[in-house]
Copies of this chain bind each other. A is one copy, B any other.
Amino acid sequence: MSRWEPDAEGRLGKAAITLFAEQGYDETTVAEIAEAAGLTKRTFFRYFSDKREVLFNGSHELAERWIGGIEAAPEDAGPMAAVSVGLDEVAELFADRHAFARLRSRIIAANPELQERELIKLQSLAGAIQAALVDRGVSVNAAILASQASVTVFHVAFAHWVEQDDPAALRRLMDESLEELRSVTAA
């Protein structure tokens, strides 16, 4: 692709994570990140629409995996069952990224701006799931609620996952979260 040093985007992402972890998000300027990657501020903004976005690159892949799982679910499965098939894919995706996920989570946890961005990414994920459910014949209202609920379940489980030490625990934590939601709403 590029004719200079390869993978400008990857270098920028790596430099950003490193600097954020070392000295904090607010204390790191875009100019610094670019310089650490041997590029300029202008180039940073060609790859990332804003400074936060560099931490949310993977969200598209997450959505694709999850949606793929939903589409592959048996036709007669209900909305939550279909969503749960998607969670299998998601758990697999994160299987070897526990350390990275923890680092990234800590950075985000330390900064409200980043939490805002994370929430809107989850919201857009919920929107995609909703559409996938509607495609399966689920009613719009049910799809809204089911997608919101499942994203909440994922979010809660993911937060637990990064704060404990077993990289393989994600799927189990998601199931526990789902079960808890069931018992709470049933009451």
Residues of chain A whose beta carbon lies under 8 Å from any beta carbon of chain B = 78-81, 112, 115-117, 119-120, 123, 141-142, 144-146, 148-149, 152-153, 156, 177, 180-187
Contacts and interface: CB of A to CB of B under 8 A. Distances in A.
A118 to B, nearest CB: 9
**Total identical chains:** 2
Contacts of A152: 145, 148-149, 152
Where chain A touches its partner, the secondary structure class is helix
Given A119-B120, A156-B144, A187-B79, A149 B182 contact: no
Contact of A187 (B78, B116, B187): B78
A182 B146 CA distance: 10
A186 B146 CA distance: 11
Given A120-B112, A144-B156, A182 B185 contact: yes
